Structures are given as C-alpha cells and as structure tokens.
Chain A
Amino acid sequence: MLQDILVTGLVNGGVYALLAIGFSLIFGVARIVNIAHTAFYMLAAYCFYTLLTKTGLGFVLSGLISVSAVTLFSVLCYRLVIEPVREHEAAVLIATIALALVFQELMLYIFGGHFLGIPSTLEGSVRFLGVSIPYQRLLILVVAGAMLVLVWFVLYRTRLGLAIRATANDLEVANLMGMNVHRVAMATVAISVALAAVAGVVVAPVFVVDPFMWLAPLVTMLAIVVLGGLGSMKGSLIGALIIGYVEAITVFAVPAGAYLKGAVALLIMVIVLLARPEGLFGVAFEEER
C-alpha cells in the first residue's frame, strides 16, 4: 500500500503541477483568474480522442496536433473574449466561467455525456520497488517532468521568460521599460494553456474523457495554487506534490476515502491559509490601490 501511495501521489502530483503552474503563470502575469483553464485540458483530451480514433494518426502526432490546436484556439479566445473586457476584473471572471460552460456544452452536444475511453498509448508495465507501474503512468510522469524543465528553461533562460517575469513583478514598470505587455500576456496565455493541453493529452488514456472532467481538477488546481501561493511557480509545484500525496493517502488509507479526498485536500488548503494567508511561497502583493 505504501508503494501504491508513493507512485499514485507522484503521478497525480505531476499532472496537478502541469495544471497549477499554468494557472499560476497566467494569474501572475495578467491577473486573470482563469476558470476555463481546465476546460482547455478537457478540450485537448477530446481533440486527442477524435484524432486518435477517427483519423488513425499515430499517438505522438495526434498529441502534438491536439496541443498546438488547443493552444492556438486559446489565444483566439483570449483576443476575442477576454481582452475586450480586461479592465473589468469581474467581467473577466465570468467571461472565463462562461467560456468553460460553452466548451462543456459543446462537447456534450457533439460527443454526448457518456464516458469515452481511449486505448492505452503504451501497453505493459514495469516493476519498481515491488509495485507494478503501467508504462502509461510512467509516461505521464516523464512528460510532466520534461514540461516542467522546459517551462523553467523558458522562464529563466530566455528573453521572453525575462519579460514574463518582469511583467508579473510589476506590469507598469515593465511597460515603461519597453516591453509589449499585451504581447507578453498573450504569450503567457499560450504557454499556460499549452501546459494544460499537454496534461489533458497524457491523462486521457488513464482517466475517462467526459464533458465534466474539468470540474474536479479545477477545484484541486485552485486549492494547490492557493496553498502554494498565487503567482509562485515553486509554490505551485510543491503544492501539487503535497495535494497529490494527500489525496493518495486519503484514498488508500481512509475508509470512504474516495469521497473524502477532495474535502481533505481542501481542508489542508484552508489550514495553511489560516496559518499563512499568502500561501506557502506566496509573495504578499503590495497594496494595489
């Protein structure tokens, strides 16, 4: 059981990290609370499913196409829906909620409400420390790790990353220093949704695909981001691992744990917030008046 907990926690933590870091990034740079974030994850899973079962493209090709298509689509959504109401925080909030609802209903209409299963991309499993880990879960872990390294590289070793971090730090000063903050915000949206889309594609064969699959990870992701500190990459990563393990422990070790896993994760978030209102690694934003 211990090994089960270790492996499941790590794999779920990896997926949550992909989602939470993207969400955190977009909040840090553009101050957008993007409720539709996990809806893009759902879109990517559906896109992957369609390409895989209808066109007969390979796994790798379908995955790449889904991620890039969803990313492009997200930029389009940002330009058409979010940017016109950027000054009104409340309007942005419900615009993202409405977008998520639109995606959910579109998928419900096109594919129906039943669960869709995707054949496993990789068969077989490897035995490690006495636990058999299916290759599919190992793949999730590897992809998540690779994406995290990639994001770290983009953020800390490129000029775009510098611009993103500068904008997150202080939008006005970054603007005065000659950075095109609108372009930076758009690039951030693309990066963050690409992360969500990658998560959607890799988990699709493990979880079931249905139009409501965005709700549960949304709540967990929000808990992680708040736990780790809004806008902090390190916090999101560590928060994701904490919540991943807490969920795994609750499911495996507590009776009726499957019902309680969300509640326990959220309870931990609330406790952390009580002790440290800005989250574990949060930077207390200066008074924004």
Chain B
Amino acid sequence: MAGEWVKVGPEGEVAEGEMNSFGAGDRMVAIANIDGDLHAFDDVCTHQGCSLAEGELDDTTVECPCHGSQFDVTTGEVIGGPATESVDVFQLRVEGGEVQVLINEQ
C-alpha cells in the first residue's frame, strides 16, 4: 500500500513512560515512549473519540482517560474496556532528529 512519511515532531519530545499527541496531516497521532522505544498509534479512541495520549500508559497498554478502553500500543488491538475496534498503528522512523510516521493513503 502506498504511504507517506509525515513529520510529527522533534525527537526527544516524549519522555520515557509518557505519551504525547501530534498532528500528522489530517490525523492525530499518539507517540508513546516505552523504555526508549517510540510507538505511534491513532490518538483517537475507537469507542467515543477521546485522546488516548491523555490516558495512562502501563507497559505497552494505553488506557483511554474517558471510559477505560485499553489498547496494545504495539499492535493497536483492544485489550479491554468498552471499545471493540482496534486503533491504527503506524510505522515510525527518526530522520535528522525528527520523528516521522508512515501514513497510508486511504
């Protein structure tokens, strides 16, 4: 599938064990830093649209702050809570000190 590498922000913006959300084209992408590894996933919870980056990160599980849906940030799969659809995850690379994610064309 064709995709485009989109800049989301400078490297080092997300502290270890934390998450932030960034605009990437017309999408909001959450970046989680797990033990120094960055993981990118759709910031919009599939349950009712809350920002997952405002939730809690426990190991590789992100928990939505609104209604408690849980996703694995490495696969996007639902782990628990009211959501039934997985969230998109994105390939990620660091180029010249800048974090980029691969957004597939729809």
Binding between chains A and B:
no
